[in-house]
Structure 1
Amino acid sequence: MTGTLEGKVAVITGAARGQGRSHAVRLAEEGADIVAVDICRQIDSVPYPLATEEDLAETAAEVEKLDRRIVARQADVRDAAAVTEAIGDGIAELGRVDIVLANAGIAPHSAREDDPLAAFDDTVATNLAGVRHTVQAAAPRMIEQGEGGSIVVTSSTQGLSGRGGNGSGAMEGYVAAKHGVVGLMRTWANWLAPHRIRVNSVHPTGVHTPMIDNDAMQEFLGQSPEVGAALTNLLDVEAVEPIDISNAIAWLVSDQARYVTGVTLPVDAGFMVK
């Protein structure tokens, strides 16, 4: 049976693990080839381990098991030149680009925030500027191809709500960046519509990935129970799974959603209506 994305090529940032790996595998199941990009090194302000080269290699292996092609590259999305080069290499090797998932992100929340400004700056640089750099690296080729396409930027329920704010640099940066990508999504939806390129944002609640399932985040929430209480869902689930977001994205980037553009799609277990 032919998948919904047969013959397509998807660029995915933050692809070494977590949601990014899940997205890569899910889209590969639908027939897409993958350009996988990840930093694969630590950022000083982030108090939990980031992905490694071995993690990125595992993503590549899982995609290849599905008999799909994958080009895996290390690049920091904060560095416009580096991410443009990495994405350009992948597109050159696979021959085209039809889908972009600007997914890379950090959440450096900590009970002992030594440098709030660094946490703010790194979060905005990764979660907002990194999204901009990713899309700007791929969109010109999509326009040149003249065959349309789909872009999904990863925001958060925190891109639609300020619940849980506590004045920390990490929280300020995270909420500001996740709101900011909605603005990028909306301006890009207008820019790219004449080229039949759709642009949407996805807004997960908490997702079981290393970004929240780590000692630093648990210590942060333990120190600030009012924050944790504010970030609960309407449905009786503490956090959703990466595949729940991947399934939504697989629909958004397919022709089944061919007239869906400019939307903020929550996958949030009712967080936003609670």
Structure 2
Amino acid sequence: MALVGRAAHTRWHWPARVRNIVVCDIAAPVPGLPYPLSTPDDLAGTAELVERTGRRCIAVQADVRSLEQMRSVTERAIAEFDRIDILIANAGIASAAPIAEMDEQLWQDMIDTNLTGIFHSFRAVVPHMIERRWGRVVATSSIVARMGMRNAGHYAASKWGVLGLVKSLSLEVAEYGITVNALLPAGVDTDMIQNPATWRLMVPEKENPTKADWLAIIESGPPNGDLIEPAEVAEAVLLLVSEHGRHFNGEAVTISCGGSANLS
């Protein structure tokens, strides 16, 4: 979760309201995931990147699965900076298993993080925005929410649930000057998908596929069908939270390299 903004490259144009940022992450392992999560050093590095742009940044280690911890992060942000203008709810993990064989804990961990974690972020921050009668909220869903995916039904379900939360909250808070939108990217070039477990999922015909095997499949597809850079997603977020994004509300904005062209 990021409050007020998110780490950015210095060339980005920050919305006028963005002055200070609070970022939080569990920054610790989660059992059952096939890839390493970020560390406290990664969290501190994000804060350093933000501060290079001339903004203050507070990095907090917290777990979105806990409403109490999300409320604590929110309270600290308000105590330090007086207000919260923008919430970026970016909770997400990934794992793989067919539904008929899926372990119950694998299912529960996915829902607790990807869906309940978004709810906790909303629940902790939105009352403050209602009181101030202004706010911008963006939650990360996925193009998989709209199309499903073999061996990732729990992931698709959690991201579809995010859409329901976003659309419902957008109706509840529009009268307070708050917009709420979802961003649905396809594959983003991060550690969450750049790992051997994902390569096996995407290249099932090979016993031990490599990153090169997967990239070869992607590159053989349509133009611009390669992996999305994190900065591209961040640029879309910046539009939604800017003054120019005031007419976006209850939207599901896709970045899918054409993958959503045949979806309703």
Provide the TM-score with structure 1 as the length reference. 0.82
CA distance in 1, matches of 2:25, 2:238: 20
The one-character-per-residue Cα deviations of 1:151-173 (angstroms, maximum 9, x if unpaired) are 001000012211x323xxxx121
The letter of the residue matching 1:157 is I
Comparing 89-98 with 260-269, greater Cα deviation is found at 89-98
Counterpart residue number, 1:264: 252
Structure 1 pair 157–233 and aligned structure 2 pair: CA distance change class (3 A): farther
Match of residue 147, structure 2, among 161, 166, 175: 161
RMSD, aligned α-carbons = 2.6
State the shift of 1:92 in Å.
1.6
State the shift of 1:107 in Å.
0.5
- Pair 1:80 & 2:67 matched: yes
Structure 1 pair 234–251 and aligned structure 2 pair: CA distance change class (3 A): same
The one-character-per-residue Cα deviations of 1:215-267 (angstroms, maximum 9, x if unpaired) are 22213323368xx889x975443311001111111001001011210111001
Match of residue 156, structure 2, among 167, 175, 188: 175
The one-character-per-residue Cα deviations of 1:161-196 (angstroms, maximum 9, x if unpaired) are 11x323xxxx12110010000000011001110101
The alignment covers a number of residue pairs equal to 246
CA distance in 2, matches of 1:24, 1:237: 25
The letter of the residue matching 2:192 is M
Q: Map 1:73-152; keep pairs closer than 5 Å.
A: 73-109=60-96, 116-146=103-133, 148-152=134-138
Counterpart residue number, 1:241: 229
CA distance in 2, matches of 1:81, 1:256: 33
1:40–1:74: 8 Å Cα contact kept in structure 2? yes
2:139–2:182: 8 Å Cα contact kept in structure 1? yes
Counterpart residue number, 1:24: 7
CA distance in 2, matches of 1:250, 1:264: 15
The letter of the residue matching 1:122 is D
CA distance in 1, matches of 2:221, 2:126: 35
- Pair 1:216 & 2:201 matched: no
The one-character-per-residue Cα deviations of 1:81-112 (angstroms, maximum 9, x if unpaired) are 1121122212221111011110020002379x
The letter of the residue matching 2:82 is G
CA distance in 2, matches of 1:123, 1:233: 30
The letter of the residue matching 1:25 is A
CA distance in 1, matches of 2:103, 2:221: 28
Counterpart residue number, 1:11: 3
Question: SS of 2:8's equivalent?
Answer: helix
CA distance in 2, matches of 1:77, 1:69: 22
The letter of the residue matching 2:103 is P
The letter of the residue matching 2:3 is V
CA distance in 2, matches of 1:224, 1:197: 48
Structure 1 pair 235–262 and aligned structure 2 pair: CA distance change class (3 A): farther
Counterpart residue number, 2:165: 184
1:151–1:197: 8 Å Cα contact kept in structure 2? yes
Counterpart residue number, 2:239: 251
CA distance in 2, matches of 1:233, 1:75: 39
Give ranges in structure 2 of 5+ residues lacking alignment. 207-213
Q: In percent, how many aligned pairs have the same letter?
A: 35
The letter of the residue matching 2:147 is S
CA distance in 2, matches of 1:43, 1:110: 17
2:27–2:38: 8 Å Cα contact kept in structure 1? yes
Comparing 116-125 with 263-272, greater Cα deviation is found at 116-125
CA distance in 1, matches of 2:105, 2:246: 40
CA distance in 2, matches of 1:83, 1:128: 14
- Pair 1:65 & 2:46 matched: no
Structure 1 pair 233–144 and aligned structure 2 pair: CA distance change class (3 A): farther
The letter of the residue matching 1:145 is R
1:156–1:205: 8 Å Cα contact kept in structure 2? yes
CA distance in 2, matches of 1:86, 1:235: 42
CA distance in 2, matches of 1:88, 1:224: 50
